[in-house]
A and B are shown apart, each in its own frame.
Chain A
Amino acid sequence: KNEVEQSPQNLTAQEGEFITINCSYSVGISALHWLQQHPGGGIVSLFMLSSGKKKHGRLIATINIQEKHSSLHITASHPRDSAVYICAVSYFGNEKLTFGTGTRLTIIP
């Protein structure tokens, strides 16, 4: 069974700080997804990656397949970045996602 673990569970930081959220998984995957969930409940897909690194605005996602580890970074954090960030993985031959428990990020002005 593939476990997806995220750390930290909760993170509070000052506006402008560099943020890192980590995700580890236990078996080989086809892709890893980073999702953002705001208090209203809706989920936005931030990244889907299977190797290397992707960047979108102030967000950067990296994955190390050998170490089965991914990180989501936020540069110059802002209060509007406050949300729950969820890591999810998909497997070869199976479109279903397995989710981590999420990291609740709070950015203080």
Chain B
Amino acid sequence: SAVISQKPSRDICQRGTSLTIQCQVDSQVTMMFWYRQQPGQSLTLIATANQGSEATYESGFVIDKFPISRPNLTFSTLTVSNMSPEDSSIYLCSAGGGRPEGETQYFGPGTRLLVL
């Protein structure tokens, strides 16, 4: 199994500012993902964080708004840029889910973001 930590656990930010969320895994993992969970909604995949290359973004998410870094196999960051109140969500990092298909994904504790 993998243990995942995220920082910060929560934050309140002003409109127009940016926040970088860190995700640390206690072991090397192939796959890392970033999700958003808006209030009352299920999880939506933002992007797959690829080690050493640009992240793969899902439809509706762009690099300028959600830049992602993954410098090694245990660490990734997600930045929420030029925030607006619509960005208020829980942001979750997950790891695992690699080959063979269907490997368990482990989730971080989430970062609860409120944009005023």
Chain A residues within 8 Å of B, Cβ to Cβ: 30-31, 33, 35, 40-45, 48, 50, 86, 88, 90-97, 99-102
Contacts and interface: CB of A to CB of B under 8 A. Distances in A.
B107 to A, nearest CB: 4
Q: Is the interface of A mostly helix, strand, loop or mixed?
A: strand
B25 interface: no
Contact of A43 (B45, B102, B110): B110
A42 B109 contact: yes
Interface residues of B, number: 25
B22 to A, nearest CB: 16
Given A31-B102, A41-B112, A86-B42, A97 B107 contact: no
For B33, B90, B102, the residue with the greatest tally of chain A CB atoms inside 10 Å of its CB is B102
Given A41-B90, A86-B43, A97-B97, A50 B102 contact: yes
B109 A41 contact: yes
Contacts of A91: 101
Nearest to A92: B101
Nearest to B104: A48
B42 A97 contact: no
Contacts, number: 63
4 closest A-B pairs by CB: A31-B102, A42-B109, A43-B107, A41-B110
Nearest to A46: B104
Interface string B41-72: 11101001000000000000000000000000
B96 to A, nearest CB: 9
B73 interface: no
> Looking at B33, B42, B92, B94, which has the most chain A CB atoms within 10 Å of its CB?
B42
Nearest to A47: B104
A91 B31 CA distance: 15
